[in-house]
Chain A
Amino acid sequence: MGLLSKKDAKLITDPLADNNPITIQVLGICSALAITAELKASIVMALSVMAVLAIGNVVISLMRNIIPSKIRIIVQLVVVAALVIIVDQVLKAYAYELSKTLSVFVGLIITNCIIMGRFEAFALANGPWRSFLDGIGNSAGYGLILIIVGFFRELLGSGTLLGYKVFGDPIEQTGLYAYGYENNGFMLLSPMALIVVGIIIWVQRSRNESLIEEN
């Protein structure tokens, strides 16, 4: 990559695979289970978290030398909360239906451990450009898993993708449904999201055995 140095590029590529926030660090699981029943909601959630984390990382990184370390958590919370409110308002203004689907989970981005984790672990110790890349990378890693889970849950649970009927119409019995196929209702329940995340973790670790923890 010409644009980024090798070290900087790693900030983006690492969280996508070998240091994924969800499958390796096991952070941000709640929202991954709650809003992934539809692919569209997963994508919007991923973008929201990306906006909050990238901007938040830059803001914290710029302020890192003036934040007293005793109250840094409060300062971080204020930054996240402000950004989340902006994202929430934007969603309400331009995608009202979606913001209803996501309901409280946009607000709950504040409590997403990935965000505080990156502020603490990275933005407080690095410059704004690198923090920005780190924010993009980590939220992309988070979003990737969200989108994979959302893809399978919507496809198998509702037979649609982004609302488009992939397998035919279940009520008019067209497409696959004519042959007796039925949607898997379990896919729409949160436990199945946990199982899908588990399967992703399983596949990832059996492909790259260095990721398996010793115990």
Chain B
Amino acid sequence: MGLKEKLHNIKEQNKDKKWLPAFSAIHTFLYTPNETTHSGGHVRAADDLKRTMNMVVLALVPCLIFGMFNTGYQHYAAIGEAVDFLSWDAFLIGLIKILPLVIVSYVVGLGVEFIFAIIKGHEVEEGYLVTGMLVPLIVPVDIPLWMLSVAVIFGVVIGKEVFGGTGMNILNPALTIRAFLFFAYPTWMSGDKVWVHGADPRVQNLIEGAKPDAISGETVLGALAQGKELAYSVSDMFFGFIPGSVGETSTLLILLAGLFLIFTKIGSWRIMLSAVIGALVMGLIFNSVVSTGWITESSKFYTLMSTEFWHHLIIGGFAFGVVFMATDPVTASQTNKGKWIYGFLIGFISIMIRVFNPAYPEGVMLAILLMNVFAPTIDHYVVQGNVKKRMKRLKAKVA
């Protein structure tokens, strides 16, 4: 008797037990359950929710590994010891710092899901698989683990479970978690000290031999918001050798992951493309404001406005947000026309927030959350528009 049958038998024997949902979650995670249809005239696709989720997690793995290397690399660069990017030294630092983030995110998040599944008596849904991987990638590396746990509990309960669980949420849970951290503990989520491991005086006493003053690690956006010169080359920004949240620095890997998601038809290319167009349009508007001379160098918006429009795509979390979060099938617009509008506005608004509100350098988080709220409205008008068009056509035919 194989493991699969054994699991199935245990499930049959414990049908009326309270903790069954928790158990069957493990069962369905490993195997397709026996309860699914095996014969008859049904259309069956290989990619159920679980497979879809696993594909996204797969696409995130390169970003995670790159994040580990980059964490160590930035740390050593900041304390003035040069190491190669692809070195064990760099990787080990990253591994030690990031693995706990991943574990905490999954244990806490799945814990909440299990508790809710048992209370409500439904099956555990796979929704947290992707969120759990996204969360460690969008936080600064030195974030205390208890803060992450609090945020994950908040995000899963208030962001998802109160609306009815996976598939019913209005806001993207990963971004809800990040937004919670951002507003609850701003000193750990923004500023020029939190992005490089060991740069923050609050964690320095934990590291041997760190020279407190030698370390600084601003993100590119943070530096620009303060009107400083760009300290990194375009290729550094594109390949991701810059400080930032754990997994969002490498635009190249995100681009590859985006292509992978488009190729496997999991991510919507309409949303990704229109978001990029939206960001470029807003960037061009700002650039032309600068070039027509409407704004002078004394303005506090000057540096960010005069940033070349396409630089916005490779700095900050824009690429990561657009590829992995804006395309979340639950919270995005469902109609094709709606996806174009939704994506465009995400790009447009996120660059606007970046430039006009330097206190919130990461506009893409707020832009996606805002558009998540409006996605059903967009869909409503797209559908109504379609209804109207067809009614007109029908009337013309009848008359």
B83 contacts the other chain (CB 8 A):
no
Q: Is the CB of B184 within 8 A of A184?
A: yes
Find B183's partner among A181, A182, A185 (CB 8 Å cutoff): A185
Say yes or no: A187 contacts B158, CB within 8 Å.
no
- Beta-carbon contacts of A170-190 to B below 8 Å, as 1s and 0s? 000000000011101111010
Query: Does A96 reach chain B (CB closer than 8 Å)?
Result: no
A198 to B159, CA, bound (A): 12
Interface mask (B144-185 → A, CB under 8 Å = 1, otherwise 0): 101100100000001000100000000000000000100111
CA distance A180 to B186 in the complex (A): 15
Least CB distance from B236 to A in Å reads 33
Q: Does A195 contact B (CB under 8 A)?
A: yes
Contact B162 A182 (CB under 8 A): no
Q: Are A186 and B158 in contact (CB under 8 A)?
A: no
Q: Write out the residue numbers on chain A whose beta carbons fall within 8 Å of the beta carbon of B147.
A: 182
Contact A195 B186 (CB under 8 A): no
What class of interface size applies to chain B in its complex with A?
A: 10 to 19
9 new A-B contacts at CB < 8 Å, known A181-B146, A185-B185, A186-B180: A180-B144, A182-B185, A184-B150, A184-B184, A185-B183, A186-B184, A189-B183, A195-B158, A202-B162
Contact of A187 among B144, B184, B187 (CB under 8 A): B184
**Chain B residues whose CB sits within 8 angstroms of the CB of A180 once the complex forms:** 144, 146
Q: Which residues of A contact B188 (CB under 8 A)?
A: 182
**With A and B bound together, what is the CA distance between A181 and B146 in angstroms?**
9
Across the two chains, which residue of chain A brings its CB closest to B180?
A: A186
Residues on A facing B (Cβ under 8 Å): 180-182, 184-187, 189, 195, 198, 202
Contact A185 B186 (CB under 8 A): yes
Of A184, A189, A195, A198, the residue contacting B185 (CB under 8 A) is A184
Residue of B nearest to A182 (CB): B185
CB nearest neighbor in B for A191: B183
Q: What's the Cα separation between A35 and B180 when bound, in Å?
A: 21
Residues of B within 8 A of A182 (CB): 147, 185, 187-188
Least Cβ–Cβ distance between B362 and chain A, in angstroms: 16
Chain A: CB-nearest residue to B158? A195
Residues from chain B with Cβ under 8 Å of A202 in the complex = 162
Q: Which residues from chain B contact A186 at a C-beta distance below 8 Å?
A: 180, 183-184
Distance A182 CA – B180 CA, assembled complex (angstroms):
14
The smallest C-beta distance from A171 to any residue of chain B, in angstroms, reads: 13
Minimal Cβ-Cβ distance residue in A for B183: A186
Give CA–CA (A198, B187) in the complex, Å: 27
B192 to chain A, nearest CB (A): 19
Question: A169 CA to B146 CA in the complex, in Å?
Answer: 19
| A185 and B184 in contact, given A195-B158, A202-B162 (Cβ under 8 angstroms) | yes
- Name the CB-closest residue of B to A179: B146
How far is A187 from B162 in the complex, measured between Cα atoms in Å?
19
Ordered by A's residue number, 21 sampled pairs between the chains whose C-beta atoms are within 8 Å are: A180-B144, A181-B146, A182-B147, A182-B185, A182-B187, A182-B188, A184-B184, A184-B185, A185-B183, A185-B184, A185-B185, A185-B186, A186-B180, A186-B183, A186-B184, A187-B184, A189-B183, A195-B158, A198-B158, A198-B162, A202-B162
CA distance A64 to B97 in the complex (A): 71
Residues of A within 8 A of B180 (CB): 186
Interchain residue pairs A-B with the least CB separation, the first 8: A186-B184, A186-B183, A184-B184, A185-B184, A180-B144, A182-B185, A185-B186, A195-B158
